[in-house]
Amino acid sequence: MFEKYKVLTARETVSRFEIYTERYCKDINTESLVVLQVAKQSILPAAYRYQGELAATAASLVQAGHKAVHTGSLEAVSSLVNQLEKTIVHLEHVMEHKAEGDILAHARYYRDAVLPAMLEIRKVADALEVIVADDIWPLPKYSEMLFIK
């Protein structure tokens, strides 16, 4: 169609496709590096801190003689911390991909492997966001962004 109406030649169309596809790959790569940085340097340390506070509180209650200590929150946070650690390792692994073959195959890899790995980190981080105390959570929460306190 571009050729028919003399907008672009076939060669120009292919060239633009390659440029846009390469840009897509670079953008996803950059975003995945940011996701890893935020997960490892902000979210995971905050989750560890909150997990430690919950564990210390449970230990204090047991030491004080309380027999029935509810540890549901601690177990939930511990499970999510474990999931976050696994998803971080998984994203690091899929990002080790080296560009081989044509640019379209590389873009498909980003779509099929890297993006889902990034979304898994997001799911776990979203679940932690609603559990971790506000004074520990290092990022603006959705509720804060939507409804300014």
Domains and CATH numbers, the chain: 28-138 (1.20.120.1560)
- Class of residue 35 by CB neighbours under 10 A (exposed 0-12, middle 13-18, buried 19+): buried
**Could you report the per-residue pLDDT of 25-75, keeping only the tens digit for each?**
999 999 999 999 999 999 999 999 999 999 999 899 888 888 777 888 999
Residue 21 CB burial class (10 angstroms; 0-12, 13-18, ≥19): middle
The whole model's pTM is what? 0.87
Residues 6+ apart with CB under 8 A from 79: none
CA–CA separation, 120 and 140 (whole Å)? 20
pLDDT digits (tens, 9 = 90+) for 95-133: 998 877 789 999 999 999 999 999 999 999 999 999 999
Helices (H) and strands (E) in the chain, counts: 6, 0
